[in-house]
Amino acid sequence: MAPTTRSTRPDPKIPPTDAKKRRSARKSAQKSFRDSSSEPELCVTDDQKDWDSDALDEPSEPESNVSKLAKRKRASYSHHPATTPIKVPRKRPRKSRETPEGEIAEGEGLEEGQELVGVIVQAPTSGRVPPGRISQNTLDFLAKLKDPECNDRHWFKLHEPVYRVLEKEWKDFVEEFTSELTEVDPQIPYLPPNDVIHRIYRDVRFSNDKTPYKIGVSASFSRSGRKGIFAGLKSNGESLIAAGSWCPGKNELATIRSNILRNPSRLRDTISAPEFVQLFGAAKRPSDGRRSNIFGMDDELKVAPKGIDKSHPDIDLLKCRSFAVARRFKDSEVLEPNFKTKLADIARVMRPFVYCLNDMMTIPPDNDASSQED
């Protein structure tokens, strides 16, 4: 005998009175929600309404009772269950409202626990110059670094975009100047700007002055790297180009003095050349009596070096601790389009002086074969 199965489906002959009651209650709840809600009415399209279970209970409204505007409005929304909508607030982007003076209002646009520490200053878009020139914006920024309130890490961080433009401008200028300098002095190799430019950060480890930044930008050029011709850019007429040896080491200074004792003619002729005197002045002590060597440096020895008579005819050279000359420029000269060409012309006059010092620091005084006497 085959086993019998029992159907779990309801008898279709039983009138679904309870199901109709539940659908009617749900339909009333949907209608009351649509009437009380401030949101736009949620409707369904005709195709969706045919498949809705509620549409099987009651006939749809005649087409004539529905206006075209309402029909388009209902078609713009998709059908979804009649549930209470949950509004998730969108996170607004942080915006800073600026005051008429250009400063951000205190506490505006900040979240809890945040504090306004400063406003980043963007680089000026006006006053830019082509590569190989210096702009007024650069001189203005360097002038601000002379103020102790501005020569500060916090201030510098807020003005870093301005400095980056200055740095790019100085690198472009050094690159253009190097091209002309190598033509004037073939001993100077053509090096990229990063190899000759000095950092703007000061070394304050062993200094009482803890100012973190220099007040100018600079670069050095020579046959061996960063020793030789020096170009420095500052504001207020302090820009310069210099050449020589600043405070050489003990052995180098002793070699220079030994060569002066042996034969000072080459050095004398170099610093007394007409072009040299025209640019850097005569090599003699100042007439006002202040302490200075013949090159204008204030590091002259008070007494004659050990073992040398104070009445020696070349005592003015032997008492020098630095052998260097410098030429300064006004801001108006720095801003000229041909400033780099003017520097190259001065470097040409400096070249015999630099060559003479290089030989005096490297040639032993007892080497007669390499002596250069006139």
DSSP-assigned letters across all residues of 249-263: -HHHHHHHHHHHHH-
Chain-centroid distance, C-alpha 236: 23
Q: How far apart are alpha carbons 218 and 198 in whole angstroms? A: 6
Q: How far apart are alpha carbons 118 and 157 in whole angstroms? A: 10
User: What pLDDT sits at residue 42?
Assistant: 45
What's the token pair of residue 196? 């000759």
DSSP 247: S
For residue 303, which phi and psi values (nearest 5 degrees)?
-125, 170
For residue 324, which phi and psi values (nearest 5 degrees)?
-155, 150
User: What pLDDT sits at residue 98?
Assistant: 45
For residue 245, which phi and psi values (nearest 5 degrees)?
-130, 115
User: What pLDDT sits at residue 202?
Assistant: 94
SS3 286: coil
What's the token pair of residue 40? 């736009």
Residue 230, strand partner residues: 220, 242
SS3 5: coil
What's the token pair of residue 45? 């399209």
Q: Judge contact between 272 and 352, C-beta under 8 A.
A: no
Match 């010092």 to its residue by tokens. 357
| Sites in the chain below the pLDDT cut of 70 | 1-20, 29-109, 224-227, 288-292, 364-374
DSSP 77: S
User: What pLDDT sits at residue 362?
Assistant: 81
Cα dist from 241 to 220, 324, 327, whole Å: 10, 11, 5
Q: How far apart are alpha carbons 182 and 179 in whole angstroms? A: 6
What's the token pair of residue 102? 């250009």
User: What pLDDT sits at residue 15?
Assistant: 56
* Percent of the chain whose predicted confidence (pLDDT) is above 90: 45
User: What pLDDT sits at residue 215?
Assistant: 95
Residue 312 CB-density burial (10 A; 0-12 exposed, 13-18 middle, 19+ buried): middle
| DSSP tally for the chain: helices H, then strands E | 12, 4
Q: What's the one-letter identity of residue 252?
A: E
Q: How far apart are alpha carbons 48 and 68 in whole angstroms? A: 18
Single pTM value for the model = 0.67
Q: What angle do CA 361, 362, 365 make, to 5 degrees?
A: 80
Match 């929600």 to its residue by tokens. 33
What's the token pair of residue 298? 């204030």
